[in-house]
Structure formats: structure tokens, C-alpha cells
Amino acid sequence: MVSDDTPDDLPARIPGTADELDRRDALRAVAAAVRDAGIEVAAESTPARWAVTVIHEARMPGTDRRLRLRFRVSIGPLPEIEAELWGLLTAEEPFGRPQARALGKKVKEACFTSAAIDKAKGRVDGWLASMAERAAALGDAWRPKAFADDLMRAAAFGGRIPRLQGLLDALEETFSTAAARAGHRVRRARLEDASGLGVYLDGFATARAMVRKLRLFVGPTNSGKTHAAMDRLAEAGSGCYLAPLRLLALEGQEALESRGSPCSLMTGEERDVRPGASFVSSTIEMANTNRVWGACVIDEIQMIGDPDRGWAWTQAVAGIAAPEIVMTGSADAIPYIQRLAAALGEELEVVEFTRKSPLRIQEEKVPLKGVRRGDAVIAFSRREVMGLRHDLLAQGHTVAVIYGALSPEVRRAEARRFREGQADVLVATDAIGMGLNLPIARVVLSATRKFDGKEERDLNHSEIRQIGGRAGRFGIQEDGRVAVLDGENINPVRRALTSPPTPPADPRPWISPTLTHVEAIARELETDSLARVLRTAGQELLRAHQTFRMTDLEGRIQAAAAVDRSRLPLAVRDTLSRCPIDVRDQDQLRLLTIWAVNQGRGVPNPAPDEAERFHHHVGTDVELEKAERAVKGLTSYAWLSYRFPEAYPEMDLCQERRQRLNAFIERTLAERSLARACPACGTRLKANHRFRVCDSCYAQRLTRRPPHHRDGKGGGKDGGHRPYHHANGGTAAPGGAAGTERPAGQEPPKRGRGGRRKAPPTA
């Protein structure tokens, strides 16, 4: 190889011969001779490929400043240079510096006269012209002088000389950022005006034409506010009761009928229409804003502050056509309702209720052995609930469980077991915070942190008050108590129960785009992609709106991307995207895609048949989880069947399978011990089996494991064996200690004082 400190001639070789190594050394010598001109060579390729650094000056559009851009342009192979090089290498005279310099001059001439340079400069000028044209469309919002500084920084590229495409990408990214910042307000206003989201309240013409009175009944749990609201509703002669859960909607129907008012039930997947009924109890998303009612009760109004579902409460408060709207919930809702009432221009009356039985804080921490009859132990994941159930059963308790993965029917059955004394202890997630009136003497929190689907965080005061308030039902217990398990801190509970509600940082209610909004945005964007419409709405709209803000649309966007693959009208896909599936479950997303594609082809979708696997009396822990997922699939099918009966015709079979699965789950949960099974093959495991998988599956994993090297570096990330799951929910490498099982990609649960595991994701 030739370098500055090598002799003039390369090492001796046989005259008239050359090989690939000689060629590469000679190319590097030529490259060294032309390096000061910014020319580089890829000597390893055959033929060699050349590149040159180009300096191009251009005027920044809209200013008098000049841009000095440096970038590399690929010239490609130089066949004449390659041929001459081989001729020199095979000549009798050795190839040295004189030959390298002479050939370098020809390389310079070939590179700097290449048409590739003019083409590259043309691309830069074309980009600048395009940038100027796009900036002009932003009008007065564009500030070229301020942008010039950003562009100069991007052109510097950190002191490195990029390839042309890399430079153009950097310039485009800089412009896009500046254009988005400058033109965001213009685009947002245009889209908001076109969609109607900017004047959201005008979409409820019937309600706006009425003179309405808003009443807000606030107070802690067990204060009688909902009872008072239902009395007012029954006196109205007609009306609707709106609840966040099917369980609460069912309780609302029973409450009205106990007052002598026939009431129909309407939920996403269920219809119970009573002949002649002038009242309807429904879930909040089913609110009918087109019908005129005598009155309306909207329960759990504090949910208006929830980023995922709060839009439904906003829609109900703004859109229900009734002269009296009674809202019940905690005082956390007051700032939101005050902001909304001011935007509506309607009178708001706030009525405060006090708790009928006192709620006390138990300072002493509760060991698991100290759990007694009438207690509700609260965890924040299905796994933690089942672990506590196992431990409490081992201590001789009978246990009922309630968590989010259970269907409403099973939750109600488990609540009945606890209420009637068939189970002396309840273990539940925060799912008991709404919709279940239970004779709980003491609420015991196993953790004061939870994973909310995005991050692990402390329970907020509203959540602690809502959960803790379930203790001490009036007329059953003299008072209610709230405590924590050993290893947890009572201070968050004390602060939550003794301090007034904290005003939210942003009291704007949440709203969600309706079909009318979706279709208008699609026309404005000239797209048929529902996912793009929703993504635009979620990312760009209502950022600076004074009254409302956009709800979290991420789950709906994922569902929209799944149904966009079908040949269905936008309106139908919009309905499908609202189907109650768990978008975190890829199997459910795939199922939704299959259903949508079949519907687009005119092929009827059969009801899911997973229930056919559960004809036996009770199941294992693995079968229980599979049955819960199967119920979710059937629930989604029923939801779609009510809206598209021709595309989903097996409603009766769906409901039959759903009832059978719910009965199977109820029987399994009522068992004193839950049999264990291998999640891979379903083989039943002995109670004392060490691993979560069976011996056969464990052996198969070992045979598939990458070889374990003597230096200790195996195929896994840790350089050794991958961990295997223990029966107790932990993990261990063979011969190692147990840890905590968790889904792939999830951070390990933190431990509180005393070593108790913090709660993994909420059920």
C-alpha cells in the first residue's frame, strides 16, 4: 500500500504481472494523490467506484442569505481510468508515486467534468424551489429569516460531509419541522372548520334548541347521591340512565323498575326492550342524543376526565335532549363540568352529598394472615389477583375474585358469592371501583402503584377514594376501613382520604370524532384511509382549543388499520373500528381483520367456536385464561351482530356459547384449588411441579437452545441459558433462583418495602 511515508516505488514484484491486491494498493495510492480535491474511492469494489465532494452555493428563498452546501456525489466507475491502471500495473516499470500522481490528474478531470455533479446541483436547486413553493402556501405564517438559521445548522451536518441524499433528507426534515410549526395553526384551523370539531357543540341541534338545567350531585361513595338522582329520574315520566359499565346499567334498570317504572336495557352487545317502557338504562357509549327525554341521569361523571373514555361523558352532557340533566360522581368532576357548562351557556347547580357511614384509615398494616371475613384485598393485575387467591385459599379462606378480564356476568356471579357469604374474602382489581355494591367491611390495598397500560405510576387520589369508598356499606357496617398490606405505605391512602380533590392541570373535557367528523376530514385530506383520518385528528386537531381536547385515539387507530384492509365503505369501517376488542392482543386484531374482509366480500362470519373446547366441568389455570379470552371474542361478535346482522348472523349461537363459557369460568373460580397446566401443551401439572412448563416442553426447549460455550457465552442475551417459568409465577434459569414472570418487553415489577411485589399491569 502506498502512503506518504512509503518509498516512491511499491515492493518488488514480478514484472508484467499484477493481482487484485496490487490493484487495491494502487487505487489507494491514486486516492491519496487526489484526496485534497475531495475525491474518494471504494477500492474494494470491482470496478472501483469514485465519489467527489461538491460545494454548491445557492440563495435561501425569501432572504438575501447564501447557503454554502457541501455533499458527496457518487460518480461511479471510471472505465478508462480502470483500464489505464491495469496497463500500468502490468507494465515492466513498477507502479509508484509518479504514476499515481499522473493518474490522479486524469481522475480529477473525469470526476469534475462528470454529468453527475450538474445533476446533483440540479437536485439541490429543485429542492430549494420546491421548498419555496411550499413555504409560499403558508402565507404570513412562514418566517424565512428564522428558518434560514435552522437550514444553515442542518447544512453543517455536524461537521461531516454527507452524501447528497443524506443532506437532502436533513434539509427536508428541517423544513418539515419548521413548516409544521409555522403552518400547524393554519392547517389545524382548516381541518377543524372542515370537520366541524371546532364547533363541536353545534352538532347536537336538538339539545341546543332546548332550555336545559344541569345538576351535579357530588360526594363520596355511599353518600346516597345516585339514589337521589334515580328518584328524580323516576319522577320525570320518561328518561335515560347512562352508566360506564353493563353492571351499572343493569342496576339502573332494576332501580327504576323497583320504583314502578318499566325500563329497557341497551348495551353494546345486549338488548332487553320492555314493551311500553318509557325509560332506558344503557352504557354511556349507547347514549341516544336524537330522542327527546323527560330527564337524564349520567353516573360516574368524574370519568369525563379519562383520556380514553371521557369523550362519551362529554357527548352525553352536551348532547342529551332533556330539560334536566343530573350528573352523579365525585367532586373531581367539578372543574370539567364548570368548563363545559360555560361553553354550553347553561345553568349549573352543584349539590354536595356527605357519606352516610364514616370511612376510617387503619394505620396498622395488614399481614396476609391478618385478612379476615368481609375484607376486599385489592391488586392491580390478574396475575396478582390469582396469586393472592391462591395464598388466601391456602389459609383456609373461601375467596371470590373480580378482575377486568372477567365478563360482567361472571363479575356479578362472583360478587353474589361474596354478598351471600359463599366466599368470605374478595380479591379484586380496581374493577370494583364502579358498578358493584358489596358488603365490604375493610378494603386492603396490596399496592399503591399500578401499570395503567403505558407506565407504572402511583394511584391518584381519585382512584384511592373510589376504591377505598367501597368499604362500609350503609345499613350493613357501622363504618368502613381502608388499610394496606405489609410492605406498603399507608401515607398515599391517608393523603387521598384526608385532602380535598386536586384541580386538574387541564380541565378541558375530552371529545372524539363522530362519523360526520371522520367523513369531513377524509374529504379534506382526500383519503379513504380511516387510520390516516384518525391519526390526523389525534395528532393535529384541538391542540389549542379553548373548550375541548382530543381523546386518545391510539387504540381506535390500530383497529382502523386492521379494518382498512377490507373493501368496505368508510362509514362501515368507522363502526368496526369502535368494536370492543383488546388492541393489545394481536389475535383479536387479526380476528377483526378477518371479519372485516369477509364482510367486504359478502361472506357471513360464523361465531367464534373456542367455546367448544370447554365442555368439561372445571378447568385449569391455562384453560381459565383461554376461556376469558374466548368470552371477549364472543362479546365482540355480539356487538357486531347487533349492528350488521347479515354479516354476523349467528347471534343466538354466540350468546349460547358465551353463557356456556361464563358458567365454565364461574365453576372454575368457585373451586377450592385451581389445577395447573402447561401453557405450551395443556398437560396437567402436579401441585408441587417446580416449573410452569411440563418436563416434556422443558426438555424440548433445552434441545432448541443455542450451544453453551465454554467461555460462558451462550445464545441468550445474558450469555447463558434463557430463564424458565416457575409454578409460582416466577422465573429461574436451571439451578437459579426464582424471579417474577412478566411479558416480553415489560420492565420487572418493583418491590415495595418488606419485599412485596409491586403490581404488574392492571387487569
Q: What is the 3-state secondary structure (H, E, C) of 684-738?
A: EECCCCCECCCHHHHHHHHHHCCCCCCCCCCCCCCCCCCCEEECCCCEECCCCCC
Mean per-residue pLDDT for 263-267?
94
Local confidence band at 6 (pLDDT 50, 70, 90 cut-offs):
very low
Phi, psi torsion values for 324, nearest 5 degrees: -130, 125
pTM over 0.95: no
pLDDT at 137: 79
Instruction: Reply yes or no on whether the pLDDT at 544 is more than 80.
Output: no
Tens digit of each residue's pLDDT (9 = 90 or more) over 671-696: 877 778 888 787 877 776 777 788 78
Of 693 and 392, which is predicted with more confidence? 392
Cα–Cα nearest to 119, from 165, 68, 176: 165
185 pLDDT band, cuts 50/70/90, is low
Q: What is the 3-state secondary structure (H, E, C) of 51-108?
A: EEEEEEEEECCCCCCEEEEEEEEEEECCHHHHHHHHHHHCCCCCCEHHHHHHHHHHHH
Cα(161)–Cα(71) distance, rounded to whole angstroms? 5
Q: Is the pLDDT of residue 247 over 70?
A: yes
Residue 754 neighbours by CB under 8 Å, 6+ apart: 486, 487, 488
The phi and psi torsions of 251 (rounded to 5 degrees) equal -65, -35
The pLDDT of 173-200, averaged and rounded, is 79
Q: Taking the CB of residue 507, how many other CB atoms lie within 10 A of it?
A: 18
pLDDT digits (tens, 9 = 90+) for 57-68: 888 887 888 888
Q: Is the confidence at residue 10, as pLDDT, over 70? A: no
